[in-house]
Amino acid sequence: MNSFLHWFVIVVSIGSFLGCIWLIWWASKKTEGESTEGEVTGHVWDGDLAELNNPMPRWWLYMFYFSIAFGLIYMVLYPSLGNYKGLLGWSSDGQYQEEIAAANKSYGPLYAGYAKMPVSQLVSNNKAVATGRRLFLNYCAQCHGSDAGGAPGFPSLKDSSWLYGGTPEAIKASILDGRNGSMPPMAAALGTDADVDNVANYVMSLSGAPHDAGKASLGKAKFAVCGGCHGMDGSGNQAIGAPDLTDANWLYGGSLGAIKKAIQNGRSGKMPAHRDFLGEDKVHLLAAYVYSLSQ
């Protein structure tokens, strides 16, 4: 927080407390000409419903003062005034690290034990798979869905179609170090909009999807531009994450419009690395669960 914000927060915070104290004092003092306690203030409704000049109950007034005192003490003990750290030295990050350390101390031996077992063996261990599923729901379901069925731009993990390989080692590498997928825009390389349309129809023909056979025939030759990544037969290349175009699994949709959009504008996707966040032992167990989904 820069110097201006630091002092701005201090002034606003302390000013608010002082304002509350002044407001209570001002509201509770008696002014000249004010009616005495118990007298009608002059506000009457429905003929006989009158407002009397009675002070607030003492306990209610004391609650206000107690709240102000509590707030002031809190601001001294905890970080609430700009860059001031508080006498207790508490921070949300510090508390988080303490909780993580406590959790690692309790559950670390469990993950370490599973890490000694190969993924192929963990797949048949119901407790290991159940623990891996809980890890998946906590850390992966936001993108891949709670059922691992994926969403547009986020691959399904339940089928046999893998961008970077479906072996335990490949899955662990994806989780540990992340992936950066990128398809460049190809409209300029192909030529005209008609060429893009022809190639899109040819791509659809590779998976047996409904397409215009005449356009697909014209697009086959132009597909050579795409074959450098996807292969001349369209079967993909897991070494670089180029998807297989011959199956019925589509990351961004398999309609003619979606395919043309991918060719014209390209695609870009990123899976973040989890090595530092989860650690290798947890990732090993998580990979076992993900691997079990497609087996």
**Residue 78: what pLDDT?**
93
Is there a single domain that holds both residue 277 and residue 266?
A: no
Is there a single domain that holds both residue 163 and residue 286?
A: yes
Is there a single domain that holds both residue 117 and residue 246?
A: no
Position 70 in a domain? yes
Out of 38-47, 166-175, 277-286, least confident range: 38-47
**Residue 49: what pLDDT?**
85
Out of 7-16, 46-55, 89-98, least confident range: 46-55
Is there a single domain that holds both residue 135 and residue 148?
A: yes
Residue 32: pLDDT over 70: no
Residue 38: pLDDT over 90: no
CATH of the domain at 191: 1.10.760.10
**Residue 53: what pLDDT?**
74
Position 40 in a domain? no
Phi/psi-derived region of residue 154, left when phi > 0, alpha when psi is between -120 and 50, beta in every other case? beta
Mean pLDDT across the stretch 22-37?
Answer: 70
CA–CA separation, 274 vs 177, rounded Å?
A: 6
pTM over 0.85: no
If one counts the domains in the chain, the total is 3
Is there a single domain that holds both residue 286 and residue 152?
A: yes
Is there a single domain that holds both residue 12 and residue 138?
A: no
Structural domain span for residue 109: 102-178+272-293
**Residue 44: what pLDDT?**
80
Is there a single domain that holds both residue 174 and residue 245?
A: no
Residue 35: pLDDT over 60: no
Position 26 in a domain? no
**Residue 24: what pLDDT?**
85
Residue 56: pLDDT over 80: no
Position 133 in a domain? yes
Residue 40: pLDDT over 60: yes
Position 71 in a domain? yes
Residues contacting residue 81 through CB under 8 Å, at least 6 positions apart: 9, 10, 13, 14, 75
Task: Give percent of the chain above pLDDT 70.
Answer: 97
Is there a single domain that holds both residue 288 and residue 170?
A: yes
Summarize pLDDT for 92-106 with one digit per residue, the tens: 999 999 998 998 899
Residue 273: pLDDT over 60: yes
Is there a single domain that holds both residue 277 and residue 152?
A: yes
**Cβ-based neighbour number of residue 266 at 10 Å:** 13
Residue 26: pLDDT over 80: yes
Position 39 in a domain? no
Summarize pLDDT for 173-216 with one digit per residue, the tens: 999 999 999 999 999 999 999 999 999 999 999 999 999 999 99
Mean pLDDT, the chain, whole residue set:
91
CA–CA separation, 155 vs 242, rounded Å?
A: 13
Position 284 in a domain? yes
**Residue 1: what pLDDT?**
77
Is there a single domain that holds both residue 114 and residue 235?
A: no
Summarize pLDDT for 224-233 with one digit per residue, the tens: 999 999 999 9
